[in-house]
Amino acid sequence: MFVKSIFKPMIDIEFLNFLEDFVSEKRKETFHKVLENRTRHFTVVLEDIFQPHNSSAVIRSCDIFGLQDVHIIQNKYSSKVSRHVAKGSQKWLNIKKYNQTATNTQDCLDTLRNNGYQIIATTPHNDSCVLHEFDITKKAAFVFGVEKEGVSEYTMNQADGFLKIPMVGFTESLNISVAAAIILQDVTTKLRASEIDWKLSEKEKEILYADWIQKSIKSIKKITERYQLSVNS
């Protein structure tokens, strides 16, 4: 779990049990199934992505391939999520935005390093590791940059490694959302076939489950108020 979690560390079990009655058994079973496949071994960083459909498609891929956390650096552009493209996937992920200071990129990379991640810049750089040779044993944060320029010079200088997708055609680049999907599918498939301890802890699962339960209830505010009144009466 990240040092600065967006979720409350304590779970009111009685309140959770109360809320579960408002959620179908099928949905609760889906939550548990998805949580068993969630991971924080890998994470994704989006640096100054200005086209909403691209960042939204990457977020959707993160959900599909089981990554729980996405970090969004907003130095020049305000990256908005397209609901049409993301298909609601953003609702189930932890999305951390860095847009408050002049050192957003540094703040993001420092946070990741403090949580044990190596910084991997995705780039067609000549010294890059090709995808099929990437070492999945270490926790990694894959950084994807702005569509034309790629990741920033700062990120390139700070990166612990570089990663590229082998290409043999005339075109030497892929759309960011396509590149992210290819990379995430490859590394997560290998991760799940390995003996690495990649799953969430039981505590992390409990926190996410409680959050997802609340997000599944449309009238959560009124229901919460009703519960608090019953407890205090």
- Is residue 73 domain-resident? yes
Residue 90, domain member (yes or no) = yes
Split into its structural domains, the chain has a count of 1
Assigned domain for 146 exists: yes
Helix residue ranges per DSSP H, 79-201: 83-86, 104-114, 153-158, 176-192
Give residue 7's pLDDT. Answer: 41
Mean pLDDT in runs of 10 for the chain (233 residues)? 44 90 96 98 94 90 97 79 60 94 94 98 86 97 86 95 91 88 98 98 96 93 89 77
- 129 secondary structure, DSSP code: E
Please give the residue range of the domain that contains residue 83. Answer: 40-196
Rounded Cα–Cα distance for residues 149 and 18 (Å):
50
| Helix 13-20 with 220-232: angle, nearest 10 deg | 130
In a domain, residue 24? The reply is no
Would residue 1 count as lying in a domain? Answer: no
CATH number reported for the structural domain that contains residue 86 in this entry: 3.40.1280.10
- Could you tell me if residue 137 is inside a domain? yes
pLDDT of residue 12: 86
Rounded distance between C-alpha atoms, residue 166 and residue 102, angstroms: 35
Q: Which residue has the tokens 């910084």?
A: 119
Task: For residue 32, tell me if it sits in a domain.
Answer: no
Q: Does some domain include residue 223?
A: no
